[in-house]
Amino acid sequence: MRSILFVARAGVTSRVLPAVVLLWALIGVTAPAGGATPERPRRVVVLHDENKDFSGLALLDQSIKDALKAGIPSGLEVHTEYLDVSRFHEPGHDAVVGEFFRRKYAGRQIDVVITVMAPSLDFVTKFGGTSWPGAAVVFCGIDRRELDGRTLGPNVTGVLVKREFKPTLELALRLHPGTRNVVFVAGTSPFNRYWTEQARAELREFESRVTIRNLTDLPLESIRDEVSRLPEHSVVLYLHLFRDGAGRTFSPNEAMSLIAERANAPIYVFLDQYVGLGGVGGWVYSFEVHGTRAGETAVRVLRGERPKQVSVTEASSSLNLFDARQLKRWGVAESALPAGAVVRFPDVSFWARYRWHVAGACAVIVTQAMLIFAMFVQLRRRRAADAARRVAEADAHQRRTELAHVSRAATLGELTATLAHELSQPLAAVLNNAGAGQRFLANGSPDLAEVRAALADIAADATRASEVIGRLRGMLKRGTTVAAFEPVDLNDVVRTVERLVHGDGVAHRVAVELDLAADLPPTAGDAIQLQQVVMNLMLNAFAAIDQPGRLVRRLVVRTRVVEGGSGVEAEFADSGSGISADVIDRLFEPFVTTKAEGLGMGLSICRSIVDQHGGRLRAENSPAGGATFTLTLPSGSLPAPSTLGVPPLREGSVGPKSSRPFGADLA
């Protein structure tokens, strides 16, 4: 395919070539040196002796190609072949391979064959003329000694390996000063054997210092056994092993690893490819450096230099190379290494190598964990707060409900008690008069005048009861005028009530004395309500006096002008039991009573009414015994019709108080 394309391109090129040459001349570009024409691609075959995938050869192959590419960036074809000489060494095999290449490359002009190692050079010397006719040869991978006995044709050049074995053993003995035994390990392939011979010849001079033992003809398993039980103060030198003593083939890297796996002594090597496979290191030959040199030499030939003009070079391609892990394993300090030594595979711990990654990951994890924890805590707090709020709300609701209930119950209770209290007296009077009327009528000749009087009293009591209810209804209407204020004569109030309760006084056997001031100014207020106050105070006095065995049974009601003339007073001094110490502080509170049948509402109602009138009501025990209640009301001008409600019934003391309307709780 490529050739077809090339032919097509050649046709076009032949027509345009004069123009291109002219253009080159104009812009000063010269044609490639040596007359290399751009019409067809340059073709190179890299021929290895062994499998090109063996790591040393692979390195060499790659560095050759890199150098070729760097020198000829375009129009270059590189083919790679290998002979596999360790596995295919039967007589005549090479001729078969030579014929194979001839056929394979027929029609493709090869410009340069790069031979890697001596067997490749030998092969090309023998079959190159038929396989790749006309190709120049650039050899590599052989040293000067290998050139001996070989005749290089005019078309051959190359780079020589400077193989050195002594420096590695010298290094090993310096780093392991107590060494007494040296074990030399290599394979049995021709390549192995050639170099074993070279190495042993070079190392012979050490035999005076150490015992050198060769493990070169044994099966690999036996070699492994041997190196696993070496005596103390031993070092191993590994050359290479393509084939073992039993004829089994290996890649030298594989063999190296298998030996290193078992060895109980440090292994020193001569090739860089074994550093990293268990070898400590050594003065090692670098395939990379050597391959680059071979590639560069081939580029010169491709560019048109004749091979004969390109001299064969021999430059050292070695360096002191070590594996840090093995140095550590065998107790060799890096400071003991020669200056300029290269140490690979630094034995860094996971932590040292990844500490920033680990620290970063940890920081992220810790931060995330903290955030999650904070969110969790916040969530729990919020939930707890929500729960507490719900409980508090439920509690508050419960309390409000209870409070409303209690408040309503209390208000209803007070209302009921007030009604019962205020109506009990007129109803009792109605009952009494009705009874009296019936008795008069039962008489043979009824006294109709008495009956009429009884009926009149009943009517009066009923009217009074109705008025009481009317006043209470007025008090319940919040915000409306609760009392019809008008000038009221306190003396009249007292006299009226005295008449009303006269029967009660008689029943309680109490003498009522009135001591009323003659010049009493009027007060402003609701006469009916003030009568209720006076009646309550007088009936209470009767109850207090009406005790068994009490001799003095008297109630004195006095009225007078308050000192300074600001008001009028009515004083109710009885000869009763006096106010009990239990209740004296709470006398005016609702439901405070010492009586078995008492409601404890009378004084509470009195206080409410007196408050509404802007007056005061106070109580004290008299030094001579008995209780004295004093009702004080303002005198003078009429106050404006009050919108005051009835102060709360539960308030304790007498005097101007809250203006909360009575019955507000019912609203």
Is residue 576 a contact point for ligand ADP (CB under 6 A)? yes
Candidates 401, 407, 594, 643: give the one binding ligand ADP (CB under 6 A).
594
Strand duo 523-525 + 318-323: pairing: unpaired
* CA 260/CA 227 separation, integer angstroms: 9
Q: Name which of 593, 590, 622, 594 is nearest 608 in CA terms.
A: 590
Is residue 574 a contact point for ligand ADP (CB under 6 A)? yes
Beta strands in 127-258 (DSSP E): 136-143, 156-161, 181-185, 211-215, 234-238
Binding region for ligand ADP (CB under 6 A) out of 121-129, 348-356, 435-443, 573-581 = 573-581
SS3 for 606-622 is HHHHHHHCCCEEEEEEC
Is residue 579 a contact point for ligand ADP (CB under 6 A)? yes
**Residue partners of 500: CB distance under 8 A and separation at least 6:** 425, 429, 464, 531, 535
**Residue partners of 119: CB distance under 8 A and separation at least 6:** 49, 83, 85, 190, 191
CB nearer to ligand ADP: pick between 163 and 471: 471
Binding region for ligand ADP (CB under 6 A) out of 113-121, 206-214, 328-336, 575-583 = 575-583
By beta carbon distance, the residue nearest ligand ADP is 602
Is residue 235 a contact point for ligand ADP (CB under 6 A)? no
* CA 626/CA 545 separation, integer angstroms: 8
**CB of residue 595 vs ligand ADP: minimum separation in angstroms?**
4
**CB of residue 562 vs ligand ADP: minimum separation in angstroms?**
22
* CA 432/CA 525 separation, integer angstroms: 30
CB nearer to ligand ADP: pick between 593 and 630: 593
Size, binding site for ligand ADP by CB under 6 A: 24
Strand, helix or coil for residue 513: strand
CB nearer to ligand ADP: pick between 215 and 557: 557
CB nearer to ligand ADP: pick between 530 and 601: 601
Is residue 423 a contact point for ligand ADP (CB under 6 A)? no
Is residue 659 a contact point for ligand ADP (CB under 6 A)? no
Candidates 599, 609, 610, 644: give the one binding ligand ADP (CB under 6 A).
599
**CB of residue 653 vs ligand ADP: minimum separation in angstroms?**
14
Is residue 580 a contact point for ligand ADP (CB under 6 A)? yes
**CB of residue 580 vs ligand ADP: minimum separation in angstroms?**
5
Is residue 121 a contact point for ligand ADP (CB under 6 A)? no
DSSP 8-state class, residue 91? T
Candidates 214, 593, 630, 659: give the one binding ligand ADP (CB under 6 A).
593
CB nearer to ligand ADP: pick between 87 and 554: 554
**CB of residue 402 vs ligand ADP: minimum separation in angstroms?**
27
Binding region for ligand ADP (CB under 6 A) out of 323-331, 372-380, 489-497, 577-585 = 577-585
CB nearer to ligand ADP: pick between 86 and 612: 612
Phi-psi region of 591 (alpha: psi -120 to 50; beta: other; left: phi over 0): left
Q: Name which of 321, 314, 319, 303 is nearest 140 in CA terms.
A: 314
Is residue 587 a contact point for ligand ADP (CB under 6 A)? yes
CB nearer to ligand ADP: pick between 211 and 424: 424
Candidates 181, 577, 653, 659: give the one binding ligand ADP (CB under 6 A).
577
**Beta bridge mates, 269:** 238
- Integer angstrom CA distances of residue 633 from 177, 315, 457, 586: 131, 138, 30, 22
Rounded to the nearest 10 degrees, the angle between the axes of helix 166-175 and helix 190-203 is 60
Q: For 229-286, where are the alpha helices, taking DSSP H only?
A: 252-262
Contacting ligand ADP within 612-651 (CB under 6 A): 627
Label residue 217 exposed, middle or buried (CB < 10 Å: 0-12, 13-18, 19+): middle
Question: How many degrees, rounded to 5, is the angle at CA 124 between CA 121 and CA 130?
Answer: 175
CB nearer to ligand ADP: pick between 13 and 593: 593
Strand duo 554-561 + 567-574: pairing: antiparallel
What would the x/- binding string for ligand ADP be over residues 491 to 530, using CB under 6 A?
A: ----------------------------------------
In this structure, the number of other CB atoms found within 10 A of the CB of residue 182 comes to: 23
- Six token digits for residue 655: 């005097």
In this structure, the number of other CB atoms found within 10 A of the CB of residue 620 comes to: 12
Beta strands in 357-440 (DSSP E): none
Q: What's at 232, amino acid-wise? A: E
**CB of residue 577 vs ligand ADP: minimum separation in angstroms?**
6
What would the x/- binding string for ligand ADP be over residues 535 to 564, using CB under 6 A?
A: -x---xx--x--------------------
Is residue 58 a contact point for ligand ADP (CB under 6 A)? no
**CB of residue 598 vs ligand ADP: minimum separation in angstroms?**
3
**CB of residue 537 vs ligand ADP: minimum separation in angstroms?**
7
* CA 276/CA 56 separation, integer angstroms: 13
**CB of residue 629 vs ligand ADP: minimum separation in angstroms?**
6
CB nearer to ligand ADP: pick between 196 and 604: 604
**CB of residue 555 vs ligand ADP: minimum separation in angstroms?**
9
**Residue partners of 640: CB distance under 8 A and separation at least 6:** none
Candidates 128, 266, 295, 600: give the one binding ligand ADP (CB under 6 A).
600
Q: Name which of 80, 31, 60 is nearest 295 in CA terms.
A: 60
* CA 617/CA 609 separation, integer angstroms: 10
Candidates 289, 453, 583, 664: give the one binding ligand ADP (CB under 6 A).
583
Binding region for ligand ADP (CB under 6 A) out of 171-179, 284-292, 497-505, 579-587 = 579-587
**CB of residue 665 vs ligand ADP: minimum separation in angstroms?**
20
Candidates 474, 598, 634, 656: give the one binding ligand ADP (CB under 6 A).
598
* CA 458/CA 479 separation, integer angstroms: 34
**CB of residue 410 vs ligand ADP: minimum separation in angstroms?**
16
CB nearer to ligand ADP: pick between 138 and 601: 601
Binding-site ranges for ligand ADP (CB under 6 A): 536, 540-541, 544, 574, 576-580, 583, 587, 592-595, 598-604, 627
